[in-house]
Every structure is written in C-alpha cells, then in structure tokens.
C-alpha cells in the first residue's frame, strides 16, 4: 500500500515537471515557431503558452526587433575598370517568423551573398566619380532589390548604407592632389575677390572723400563770400553813417555861423584858411575867387606899408 502511494506521488511529480517544462512565456518582440510531429503547427506571439509534450516542439525562436549587420568589404569593379573595396551595412527586420524559419537556410549568409552580387551589378554600371557621388542612389537601388529578394524569406530590408568606399591607393593619391589643387584654386579666387572688393571699397571711400571735400570747399566759399558781403555792407553802412555825421556837423557849423552873423572879414579869413588847406595838396595851380583877389591885394599893400614904416624908423 505504501509503495503504491509513493509510486503515485512520483508519477504526479513527473507529470507536474513535464507540464512545467512545456510552459512557455514568449517575451515582447519575439515569436516562436511550433512544429507538431515534424510539421509546422503555429507561431506563438507574446504571452503564455503550453505545448503538447512529446508531440509539439519549438522549431525556432525568432527575434522581431530591427537588426543591423555589417558585411565585410567586397571588391567591386567600376565601369571604367577601377577596383574598389566597399563594405555595406544592412538594417533589416523579420516580418514573418514562419517564412524566416522555412524560407531559406542560413538567412544571413544568403543576404550577404545577395548584397555582394547586387552591389557589383550596380557599381559595374557607374564610373568612379559617379560611384563616389551617388551613394544615395546606390543605397536606394540596393534596398529596393534586396527587399524584393528577401520578401519570400520573411525579411524586410529597411535600409542599406555604403559604409566605406576605398579606391586603390594611387587613385586616392590622385584624388588628394586634385582636391588640393581645387582648394588652392578656390583660395586664389576668394583672395582675388577679397582684393577686388577691397579696391572697390577704397575707391568708393576716395570718391566719397572727394565729394565731401568739394562740398566742404563749396560751403567754405559760400561762407567766405557771405562774410565778405556782410563786411562790405557794414563798411558801406559805416561810411554812410560817417558821411551823414560829417554833413550833420557841417550843417550844424553853418547854422552856428549864421547865428553868429559873421562879418565879411571873417568870411575872407575862412576863405584864406581853405586856400591854405588846398595848397597843402598835390595841385600845381590854385584858382583864387574874384571876391578874394581885392582883399588879397589890400593885404599885400598893407604889408608893404608896414614894412616901409619899419624901414623909416
């Protein structure tokens, strides 16, 4: 009786272990391909699953995340017979776990070989310069071709990148010399353009300086002319004022003379004073008015009589 109980307990334990061992929890971004008696049965998605012992088995655990694979450099020949080494980077994602499990043996090897042949076909139609400047075009063509070819394998090609393009060493040296010459040419052009702009700016500065100097000279001439005009006006006004004052004084003297009622002798003496002032000038002839001639003769006669009287004494 005790042996039977232990046997049942052992059997139950074995069944429990078998059940536990056949419990499968599929994590996120994974898929599990199940085969039943050697044939495809189903694909388990994320979650809790239990497989039938001894009948079902896990054929493949598939990662559904986007993956990156970097292939080794491949020798390719361009249209102008230049051999280059190009390595590629493939970004892919498994879209169908069943097709990935049964579509092709060694999928990564198949993708690498397909990538190499596709790259050779595309680069073979391009020359060296086109290859170096057409990365985007080559990437797009390779992605389209690889995606179409890998679709039956349950693989989605998201992106293809040419990582490195390595031409032969002599080609690299030639390209470096060409690039150096191009840089020197651009430098010379930039220097010439800078000198040209500098000369233009200097000429414009000189032009503006000449214009400003001319404007300043013109303004100075105008100011000098206005100053001379103002001085002449003030001088004329001063002379006019002086003449007015002289005439006023002369009129005042005549008025005072008239008021004093001078005798003829006084007037005659004033006439002589006037003649004396005239004689001090540069004139060689003096015209004596007839009114003064008689008085002048009388004065001479008086002076002679006085001199004779002095001789008698």
Query: Is 216 within a domain?
Result: no
Beta carbons within 8 Å of 57's beta carbon, 6+ residues apart: 34, 35, 51
Q: Is the pLDDT of residue 113 over 50?
A: yes
Query: Is 297 within a domain?
Result: no
Note the pLDDT of residue 302. Answer: 41
Note the pLDDT of residue 309. Answer: 45
Instruction: Look at 176 and 113; give whichever has higher pLDDT.
Output: 113
The confidence band for 122, taking pLDDT boundaries of 50, 70 and 90, is very high
Note the pLDDT of residue 214. Answer: 86
In this structure, the answer to whether residues 73 and 138 fall within a common structural domain is: yes
- DSSP run (H or E) holding 169: helix 169-260
Average pLDDT of the chain to the nearest whole number? 82
In this structure, the answer to whether residues 108 and 142 fall within a common structural domain is: yes
Query: pLDDT tens, 31-86?
Result: 999 999 989 999 999 999 988 888 999 999 999 999 999 998 989 998 888 888 99
Report the b/e string of 53-73 with b at 16+ CB within 10 A. Answer: eeebbebeebebeeeeeebee
In this structure, the answer to whether residues 88 and 155 fall within a common structural domain is: yes
In this structure, the answer to whether residues 19 and 85 fall within a common structural domain is: no
User: The CATH number of the domain where 126 resides is what?
Assistant: 3.30.479.30
Query: Is 88 within a domain?
Result: yes
In this structure, the answer to whether residues 71 and 154 fall within a common structural domain is: yes
Max avg pLDDT among 142-146, 168-172, 184-188, 274-278 = 142-146
| Whole-number Å distance between alpha carbons of 48 and 25 | 5
Beta carbons within 8 Å of 29's beta carbon, 6+ residues apart: 46, 63, 64, 65
Query: Is 302 within a domain?
Result: no
In this structure, the answer to whether residues 41 and 96 fall within a common structural domain is: no
Q: Which of 104, 132, 167 is the last residue of a domain?
A: 167
Rg of the chain over all Cα atoms, to the nearest angstrom: 66
In this structure, the answer to whether residues 131 and 81 fall within a common structural domain is: yes
Q: Which domain holds residue 160?
A: 67-167
Query: Is 234 within a domain?
Result: no
Backbone conformation region of residue 261, classed left if phi is above 0, alpha if psi is from -120 to 50, else beta: left
Q: Which of 16, 37, 63 is the last residue of a domain?
A: 63
Q: Is the pLDDT of residue 275 over 80?
A: no
On whether the CB atoms of residues 150 and 144 are closer than 8 A, the answer is no
In this structure, the answer to whether residues 77 and 125 fall within a common structural domain is: yes
pTM of the model: 0.55
Query: Is 93 within a domain?
Result: yes
The confidence band for 264, taking pLDDT boundaries of 50, 70 and 90, is low
Q: Which of 145, 167, 189 is the last residue of a domain?
A: 167
CA distance readout (Å), 126 to 41, 146, 213: 48, 19, 66
Q: What is the mean pLDDT of residues 185-213?
A: 89
Q: Is the pLDDT of residue 22 over 60?
A: yes
In this structure, the answer to whether residues 134 and 56 fall within a common structural domain is: no
The confidence band for 298, taking pLDDT boundaries of 50, 70 and 90, is very low
In this structure, the answer to whether residues 16 and 99 fall within a common structural domain is: no
The confidence band for 141, taking pLDDT boundaries of 50, 70 and 90, is very high
| Whole-number Å distance between alpha carbons of 228 and 230 | 5
Q: Is the pLDDT of residue 307 over 80?
A: no
Q: Is the pLDDT of residue 114 over 90?
A: yes
| Whole-number Å distance between alpha carbons of 78 and 212 | 67
Note the pLDDT of residue 234. Answer: 85
In this structure, the answer to whether residues 21 and 92 fall within a common structural domain is: no
Q: What is the mean pLDDT of residues 160-169?
A: 88
The confidence band for 247, taking pLDDT boundaries of 50, 70 and 90, is confident
* Number of domains within the chain: 2
Note the pLDDT of residue 225. Answer: 86
Which range among 30-44, 141-155, 293-307 shows the weakest confidence by mean pLDDT? Answer: 293-307
| Whole-number Å distance between alpha carbons of 8 and 3 | 9
In this structure, the answer to whether residues 32 and 74 fall within a common structural domain is: no
Note the pLDDT of residue 34. Answer: 94
Tokens of 68: 């990156």
Report the b/e string of 107-139 with b at 16+ CB within 10 A. Answer: beebbbebbbebbeebbeebebeebeebeeebb
Query: Is 20 within a domain?
Result: yes
Query: Is 299 within a domain?
Result: no
Note the pLDDT of residue 115. Answer: 93
Q: Is the pLDDT of residue 172 over 80?
A: no
């Amino acid at each position: 009786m005790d042996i039977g109980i232990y046997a049942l307990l052992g059997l139950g334990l074995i069944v429990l272990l078998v059940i536990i061992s056949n419990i499968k929890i599929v994590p996120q971004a994974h898929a599990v391909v199940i085969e039943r008696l050697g044939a495809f049965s189903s694909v388990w998605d994320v979650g809790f699953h239990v497989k039938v012992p001894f009948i079902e088995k896990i054929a493949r655990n598939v990662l559904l995340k986007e993956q990156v694979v970097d292939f080794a450099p491949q020798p390719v020949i361009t249209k102008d017979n230049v051999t280059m080494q190009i390595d590629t980077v493939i970004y892919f994602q498994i879209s169908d776990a069943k097709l990935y499990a049964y579509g092709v043996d060694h999928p990564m090897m198949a993708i690498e070989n397909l990538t190499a042949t596709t790259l050779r076909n595309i680069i073979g139609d391009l020359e060296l310069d086109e290859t170096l400047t057409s990365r985007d075009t080559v990437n797009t063509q390779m992605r389209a071709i690889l995606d179409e070819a890998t679709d039956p394998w349950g693989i989605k090609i998201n992106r293809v990148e040419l990582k490195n393009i390595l031409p032969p060493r002599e080609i690299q040296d030639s390209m470096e010399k060409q690039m150096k010459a191009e840089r020197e040419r651009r430098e010379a052009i930039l220097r010439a353009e800078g000198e040209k702009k500098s000369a233009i700016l200097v000429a414009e500065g000189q032009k503006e300086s000449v214009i400003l100097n001319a404007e300043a000279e013109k303004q100075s001439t105008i100011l000098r002319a206005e100053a001379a005009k103002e001085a002449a006006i003030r001088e004329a006004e001063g002379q006019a004022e002086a003449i007015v004052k002289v005439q006023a004084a002369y009129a005042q003297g005549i008025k005072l003379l008239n008021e004093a009622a001078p005798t003829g002798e006084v007037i005659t003496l004033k006439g002589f004073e006037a003649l004396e002032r005239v004689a001090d000038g540069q004139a060689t002839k003096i015209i004596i008015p007839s009114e003064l001639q008689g008085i002048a003769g009388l004065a001479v006669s008086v002076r002679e009589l006085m001199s004779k009287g002095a001789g008698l004494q």
